[in-house]
Amino acid sequence: MKKLVMLILMVFPFFTVYAEEWKEVEKIPAINGGTLEIKEEKEYQWYKIKKEGGYFNEAPSEEFLETNFWTFGPWSEWQEEYPNEKENIETKVVYHYQLMQKIKYIRVSEINNSSLTFASILFYKGRDQISYKMEKLDNEIILELEDPCYFDELEVEMTLVNEYEEENAFLIEWLYELDLPSCMQTYTRQWFSISTTINFMERKMMPNQFLYEEENVSSEKVEESAHTKVYRREQYRYQEKMHYYEKEIKEYSKEFSSTMIDGYPYPDLSTERKRLFCRVHKVEPEIKEVIVTKEVPVEKLVLKEFPIEKITLKEQPINSILKQDNIFLKKEVENLKYRLATSQNEKSENLEKNKTVEVKKQSLNISIYILILFLGYILGRIMTMKKKI
């Protein structure tokens, strides 16, 4: 037979795919070998809703919405005009009153006889005598009371002296102020006989004009009198109806998240930001056993490099004819170990991670590989010997 149909167990590389951890990146990276998986996450700032409000006559702004709650506001100031269209109104009676000004000065003038003298002038308020200051000018005397009195409280007692038997006259004026017209006046005529002393008294006079002080208001009742003017009036105050207005306020979390944050149930879509993640799916060769049936020339067999620690020699029973060829086979194996050891130093870091798992798998595969090599060598020798025969 020129050709033999051989059942050869050959070693073919298959591939194992594993993925790295997800990593956040700013842009899609370039990779050398394997595949790149990309995902994008959208994150938002989350918020919760709080309500803020108060009682107002009307909404402070468009953000505030009216509710069904209402109450009366504070009382207004008291006023005399009736507050129409108000719901809660209160009324009270007040007393406006004005006090008449008091008599402060008395002036004696228009004395028609120079022989007339005023021996004494006395002022009384009820039974109490009032002190005064006196100033004499040309043909007149000015008296200033230290305790001003109302006109109906004041009494004046005068003692006049004249040396001759005759009639004398003079004017008495009652003044609020010196620069104001008199409020009362009395023109007095007295007849002097042989006796030269005359006493007379002025009391209960009626002013010809009244001057009043500024108006006062009292919630207590004020009685009207000769020198007190009183007006009874009503005053009003009110309370306005106020509604409760409220608005919603968003309170944000400090961090961003793609899922709901505890206590902050709503995402603000306007705060969206994107994050890019990727991971690499790497492909590692894995040795699998494949059965191939084919006519293959021995010289076309190609040796594949394997880590040296995965090569295991197994003793195989051989024919005594082939014992002289063991030296050649051992040299080939040693050469194969040297080349694999060189390759192992370059790839030691990557293979170290999978060392424990791969040793058991590769041990069987290397044994099969050496067996194939050995069977190929034996078949070659047999074919050579047949040609010689």
- pLDDT for residue 13 is more than 50: no
DSSP state letters, 111-143: ---TT-EEEEEEEEETTEEE-EEEEEETTEEEE
pLDDT of amino acid 11: 41
- pLDDT for residue 124 is more than 60: yes
Letter for the amino acid at 316? Q
- pLDDT for residue 324 is more than 80: no
User: What sign has the CA pseudo-torsion 281, 284, 287, 292?
Assistant: positive
State the pTM of this model: 0.41
Mean pLDDT of the chain: 75
Strands 266-293 and 35-56 turn out to be antiparallel
The pLDDT tens digits for 341-387 are 555 555 555 545 555 545 455 555 666 767 777 777 777 777 777 66
Q: What structural domains does the chain harbor? A: 101-203 (2.60.60), 295-388 (no CATH)
- pLDDT for residue 337 is more than 70: no
Kindly calculate the radius of gyration of the chain based on its CA atoms and give it in whole angstroms: 67
- pLDDT for residue 4 is more than 60: no
The pLDDT tens digits for 16-46 are 655 678 877 877 777 777 787 888 888 888 9
Which of the four pLDDT bands, split at 50, 70 and 90, describes residue 216?
very high
Letter for the amino acid at 258? S
Report CA-CA distances (Å) from 276 to 27, 31, 75, 268.
7, 16, 64, 20
Tokens 């956040």 found at: 24
Q: pLDDT: is 157 or 37 the higher one?
A: 157
